[in-house]
Amino acid sequence: MTATSRHRRRAALVIAACLPAAMLGALGTPAARADVTTTPAPTSPVTVTYAVGTDTGAPEIRTAVASSEQGAVNLVRTLRSVPGVQAANVTVPMHRLGTTVNTAAIDPSVASQWGLRALSFSRTQAWSRGAKVVVAVVDDGVDRTHPDLAGVVLAGRNIVNPGRPVDPGGHGTHVAGIIAARANNGLGGSGLAPGVHILPVDVFNGESATDATVAAGIVWAAKQPGVRVINMSLGGPESTDVLKKACDYARSRNIVVVAAAGNDGARVPSYPASYPGVVGVGAIDRDLSLASFSSIGPQVDLVAPGVDILSTSCALTYETEATDVCPTNPTTHQVRHIYVRMSGTSMATPFVSASAALVASRFPSWSAARIAAELQATARDLGATGRDELYGYGLVQPLTVLRGVPTAPQGTSITSDPANSAIRVRWRGVARTGSYGVDYWSVAYRSDGGAWSVAKKLSYAGHACVTTVCSLPFTNVRPGHIIQARVVAVERVSHIVGPGSTAGRWHGPDAGNTVDSARALGLVAPGNSASDVIATGSDVDWYVALADGLEVSIDDPAPGHTITVFDASDTTTPLASDDTQNLGSGNPLVIASTGVTTTYLITISGSAAPTTPYRVTVAPLS
């Protein structure tokens, strides 16, 4: 007998001994919902949720039904002393955090999706669409047959009724569309990350969900391949040990966990958003002001559009509106596909989940903790300076993270020399150098609010100003005027456009014949090296900015493909090119140093994508 089996058997024996009349409740078994705000009658059943450790490390979420509130309290106390039981508590209800504003069938478009415009949707698509990332939507189900979600939604799981497919939930379908509705398909609008896949996890039984079903859904989703983000547009005011245990497990699996901050419009906690490490999301309106319903407090990490949000859904009838599960037509057995406008922190949450998915796709080696930290560090500050309990760190800015923009310099000031009509601008270094590093400082000034002067550049190399002060002088500045200075840390590389389409040739491992945006290699100094794997289906090539030349070699080369290196400023004339069969270890493709910082674009082309991955090593010349 394994340790897990012993733990399960021990927990079952404890339940039987403590409560002879109690039944072990499966997650799919209907049971009266515990109401922690009222005292049930002595005969009212109360559900207890507990987590049992397993050999895989994933907690198994189970429930038991006690005959009274006191019996449930006794059972929880006893279960917490049982070896292998990681958490136990009285079950509490969970709620969706979105409300329907307009359920009329309408014909939306990206132009009417103000939330996408607020997050620079058209520009984020040049950097990432979320390819190869799965976002789990823990909700009331998703309509897999909605035309704007065709091919997007995976099979998922019905936690409450494991023998049934996932329900077509109106709320979950709306959330899924905000994340991943397909773009450029001639239908409806678009999701912020139209390249991701949605894994629906149905945790509602009609109107009801509990911490038990939600926790079980989190654990199941965290074990599925490809899941990098879990979206929970739900919550409740009660914290439970089991729900926290499930969130901790998902985070241990390197998954970004995102949850709605609540719709109470006051300083009221919401769980799971209030747990450490969970990204809690508040809602803003079109004016970028906090929505009147959005809860405030320490659970708010970021805000996103959450008022009058247009997205996919399915039609509800009067009889089923309370359950939010869309009925099927008795003849066609299909739900009616529509678009609706909804408001709530439920709607804001998927914008942050989609942002995390875009970043995870763009930077697949980044940890979940780094993705969350980058989104928080680059948020647009709203409200009081710095983090506050209304807006958290501010409005999520996925484009900033995707582009790797550094933060602003610290402590900018001006000293003047009136006698010589000169000023000197001083500043300290940046808190973060961005995804690609800083190339140079751009410094300018203006008089009395007029036009900015021509910016001066100062190389970042040797002038990082981390412990010292950087400065630049400007002459011919007339005294007696109000002078303002501007210092910008300019990222090392911005957008790199590939050499374009070549008829009949595979180019850039997406087989799309075009490199829209190449992936950065982190080579910053001689002696450093990095390697990357080109695999069929990946969507980028590479670029790197170096003051030195570089060499490119390939492991296990095969004939029929060519590695080409371009100067990114001129992708019509290659700097060097060779067949992959000639570039094995010890025989690299060498690009001589130009003596100045050059951005190199490295591509592979051929008549067809490789059938097996290549590992390409790129290193700067020492």
C-alpha–C-alpha distance, residues 137 and 283, integer Å: 18
| Residue 227 in this model has a pLDDT that exceeds 90 | yes
Task: Tell me which of 36-40, 535-539, 589-593 is least confident.
Answer: 36-40
* Higher pLDDT among residues 549 and 371, named by residue: 371
pLDDT of residue 103: 47
Q: What is the mean pLDDT of the chain?
A: 80
Point out the residues that are catalytic.
139, 171, 346
Is the pTM above the cut of 0.75? no
pLDDT of residue 21: 34
| Residue 503 in this model has a pLDDT that exceeds 60 | no
Mean pLDDT, rounded, for 83-91: 90
| Residue 280 in this model has a pLDDT that exceeds 90 | yes
* Higher pLDDT among residues 322 and 270, named by residue: 270
Task: Tell me which of 219-233, 326-340, 413-427 is least confident.
Answer: 326-340
C-alpha–C-alpha distance, residues 539 and 128, integer Å: 9
C-alpha–C-alpha distance, residues 353 and 193, integer Å: 9
| Domains and their CATH numbers in the chain | 3-91 (no CATH), 95-403 (3.40.50.200), 409-491 (2.60.40.10), 506-620 (2.60.120)
| Residue 520 in this model has a pLDDT that exceeds 50 | yes
Mean pLDDT, rounded, for 422-433: 90
C-alpha–C-alpha distance, residues 281 and 116, integer Å: 16
| Residue 441 in this model has a pLDDT that exceeds 60 | yes
Burial class (CB in 10 A: 0-12, 13-18, 19+), 353: buried
| Residue 469 in this model has a pLDDT that exceeds 70 | yes
Query: Of 106, 137, 136, which Cα lies nearest the Cα of 226?
Result: 136
| Residue 435 in this model has a pLDDT that exceeds 80 | no
pLDDT of residue 7: 55
pLDDT of residue 587: 78
Phi, psi of 10 (to 5 degrees): -65, -45
Mean pLDDT, rounded, for 447-455: 87
Burial class (CB in 10 A: 0-12, 13-18, 19+), 267: middle
Q: Is the peptide bond before 272 cis (omega within 30 degrees of 0)?
A: yes
* Higher pLDDT among residues 172 and 38, named by residue: 172
| H or E element that contains 423 | strand 422-430
Burial class (CB in 10 A: 0-12, 13-18, 19+), 345: buried
| Residue 514 in this model has a pLDDT that exceeds 60 | no
Task: Tell me which of 72-86, 104-118, 137-151 is least confident.
Answer: 104-118
Burial class (CB in 10 A: 0-12, 13-18, 19+), 1: exposed
Mean pLDDT, rounded, for 431-451: 84
What are 73-84's pLDDT values in tens digits? Answer: 999 999 988 889
Which is it for strands 197-202 and 157-158: parallel, antiparallel or unpaired? parallel
pLDDT band at 6, cuts 50/70/90? low
Query: Of 385, 389, 356, which Cα lies nearest the Cα of 290?
Result: 389
| Residue 198 in this model has a pLDDT that exceeds 70 | yes
pLDDT band at 509, cuts 50/70/90? very low
C-alpha–C-alpha distance, residues 358 and 119, integer Å: 12
The helix/strand/coil state of 247 is: helix
| Residue 40 in this model has a pLDDT that exceeds 80 | no
| Residue 107 in this model has a pLDDT that exceeds 50 | no
Task: Tell me which of 69-83, 99-113, 177-191, 587-601 is least confident.
Answer: 99-113
